[in-house]
């Protein structure tokens, strides 16, 4: 089963390497990874998408908590949350197919960010299901390239996904 793990870490060099090393050293796959600083520049949040049964996810979380510079680890999957991934999709487009592609982009609430004589680049943000559906609909036109940011996720409600109040 797919899990989204939010990891609050100190914003220091080498932390990403330690976390990635933990996954590779134990044979766990990272399906998606995104990292950026929080509103407090002393900390960063890693959003890691991985797969495994409950026992494997529990082991990953326990191992992450043992790492130096890791402050909080939380499996966001069972929480009521919002998740998004941004994609840039380059697709073949001729003057004949361009109107159809624009209609598809509008339907999926995407945005055309570049146009050439033979192609378009589309920016789209959404859940995994939405992004996959978008790619499937564009496939007949000839997808040239897809670049993704990796997922980010945030818990709904007034509390922070990782509890920052215990970090001060």
Percent of residues, the chain, with pLDDT higher than 70: 95
Domains of the chain: 2-78 (3.30.70.260), 82-152 (3.30.70.1150)
The pLDDT value recorded for residue 163 is 61
The 10s digit of each residue's pLDDT in 58-99 is 999 999 999 999 999 999 999 999 999 999 999 999 999 999
Strands (DSSP E) contained in 12-160 are 30-37, 43-51, 70-75, 81-92, 111-115, 119-126, 143-148, 152-155
- CB of 53 within 8 A of CB of 2? no
Q: What is the mean pLDDT of residues 11-40?
A: 95
The burial class, CB within 10 Å (0-12 / 13-18 / 19+), for 19 is buried
Has residue 159 got a pLDDT over 90? no
């Amino acid at each position: 089963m797919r899990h989204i793990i939010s990891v609050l870490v100190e914003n220091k060099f080498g932390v990403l390497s330690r976390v990635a090393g933990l996954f590779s050293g134990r044979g766990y796959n990272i399906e998606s990874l995104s990292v950026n600083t929080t509103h407090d520049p002393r900390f960063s949040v890693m959003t890691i998408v991985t797969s495994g049964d409950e026992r494997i996810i529990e082991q990953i979380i326990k191992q992450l908590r043992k790492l130096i510079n890791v402050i909080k680890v939380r499996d966001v999957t069972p929480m009521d949350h919002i998740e998004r991934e941004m994609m840039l999709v380059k697709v073949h487009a001729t003057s004949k197919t361009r109107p159809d592609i624009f209609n598809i982009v509008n339907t999926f609430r995407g945005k055309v960010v570049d146009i050439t004589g033979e192609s378009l680049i589309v920016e789209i943000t959404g859940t995994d299901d939405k992004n996959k559906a978008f790619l499937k609909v564009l496939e007949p036109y000839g997808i040239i390239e897809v670049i993704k940011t990796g997922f980010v996720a945030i818990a709904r409600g007034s509390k922070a996904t990782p509890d920052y109040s215990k970090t001060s």
